Chain A
């Protein structure tokens, strides 16, 4: 009997290490950013519906990537949207941004709860305007809803600092991604 129990216990890590396929659909979740216009500290909030992605939870890591259609972003002012998409992000040539996770630790219980305890750091690669750069930030996961926050430097992606009628956008832009993950 003891031998059977021992064998069962030994087999548990193998079960939890099994890859769990997860998906995120664009109709749920959200991608938002906050940029600051200087010198008057004007806040520019951009928002859009979510990203589409495929992930796996395996070996205590969340792996995979999500893609996002930049044309969906809305800053609340039409002219500003036009400038952002056509002049600075060149959406026609580079319609999507892609975030690939390289290090996103998961709790051992994630496989059953789709939740992590507290906030954890993550690392990834972001492809934007045809350039890929490493990014790092923090993320939380609760009941399958993953919320990630990170900051990007516009010039690192070859994006000229947007400027309009005396207001210039600061180089660092805060990005927040909400991905509701579902088991496939």
Chain B
């Protein structure tokens, strides 16, 4: 069960915040979404060839590898989509098991009319690796000015670091993992030195969150030397079951063109309403060092830690790992990580995990 929980809820979004080392300080250079992830802009597709991938040929990064000539697609239309699969292997003294998971299988399209863009992603894998005909996210994005954007729809509100690895404690354990898109209204300010965002949202009972949380979030990020991005986020939410407050400090550091670090620490303070209980404080952290040894090939060092109740040792989770990430050509992404994880709720010993993720985007 723990195995299932750990991986079924892993998934989507392919934001690359580490691109800040190439001075891409705001996500909307490459993504339609101001939070990053999802539908790529024309420029983002260009950079997939020029900056991200080991090899490429002309126009390879375009939709369907350029099979449809760009001039045949209306300028106002942007089409994409993702297939992401994961093979997980877990091993300890008593168990040795593997599992294949279809994490993402969707088409996504956007239409722009004047300053407004409508985007929707369709197709959602279920626990049996079958695709359900369901919209996973949809939104209207309005560019009020060059720097001010408003967005409304079913999306992930801005909070902390929006990384593709949704299993990390700062995402999944706090309700920002797979299938946690909420009905959200948000505003973004994307400046030369600052990024600010505010959101009001309500989660859905039908989602994996399983409760109706009404929340407000605020995020402020500062760019340093055009290669580092440091931010603070706050979250205040209340559902029928609990009331919680989150505070996050995160950083994306592009030390050189090759060496980078993504790190976040979140503090959660929550009080259960039913059943009534004492206030609980918890801490959640992840760190991901990367080194690009040659264009498109990255070595990774990973660490995660969480303690959902600072007063209860058994709520502690620790993970260390190493791996490699490869973008061989535009549209393709492969990641292999080997991890040692210890979850005191289930075992006092470390367990070995291996993850192989393959991601293909249209």
Bound complex: CA A78 to CA B50 (Å): 8
- Find out whether the CB atom of B26 lies under 8 angstroms from the CB atom of A164: no
Query: Residue B143 at the A interface, CB < 8 A?
Result: yes
Stretch in B38-46, B103-111, B261-269 touching the partner: B38-46
Question: Do A42 and B146 touch across chains, with their CB atoms under 8 A apart?
Answer: no
B340 at the interface (CB under 8 A from A): no
- In the bound complex, CA of A136 to CA of B45 (Å): 39
A44's nearest neighbour on chain B, judged by CB, is B23
Residues of B that sit less than 8 Å from A by CB: 22-26, 28-29, 41-43, 45-46, 50-51, 143, 146-147, 190-192, 226, 257
- Tell which of B22, B24, B51, B143 touches A39, judged by Cβ atoms closer than 8 Å: B143
Establish whether residues A76 and B22, one from each chain, have CB atoms under 8 Å apart when the complex forms: yes
**B257 A39 Cβ-Cβ under 8 A:** no
Interface residues of A (CB under 8 A from B): 34, 36-45, 76-80, 164-167
Q: Of B23, B28, B42, B146, which is within 8 A of A43 by CB?
A: B23
Please count the residue pairs between chain A and chain B whose beta carbons lie under 8 angstroms apart in the complex. Answer: 55
Q: Please measure, in the bound complex, the distance between the C-alpha atom of A42 and the C-alpha atom of B51, giving whole angstroms.
A: 14
Contacts of B41 in A (CB 8 A): 165-166
Q: How many whole Å from A175's CB to the nearest CB in chain B?
A: 16
Q: A40: which B residues are within 8 A, CB to CB?
A: 24, 26, 28-29, 43, 190
Expressed in whole angstroms, the Cα–Cα distance for A163 and B339 within the complex equals: 44
Which residue of chain B lies nearest to A45 when distances are taken between CB atoms in the complex? B23
Report yes or no: B257 in contact with A76, Cβ–Cβ below 8 A: yes
A45-B226, A165-B41 are known contacts. Are A39 and B28 too (CB-CB below 8 A)? yes
Whether B192 pairs with A36 at a CB distance below 8 angstroms is: yes
- How near does chain B come to A82, taking the closest CB pair, in angstroms? 10
Q: Please give, as numbers and ranges, the residues of chain B lying within 8 Å of A78 by CB-CB distance.
A: 50
Residues on A with beta carbons closer than 8 Å to the beta carbon of B147: 39, 41
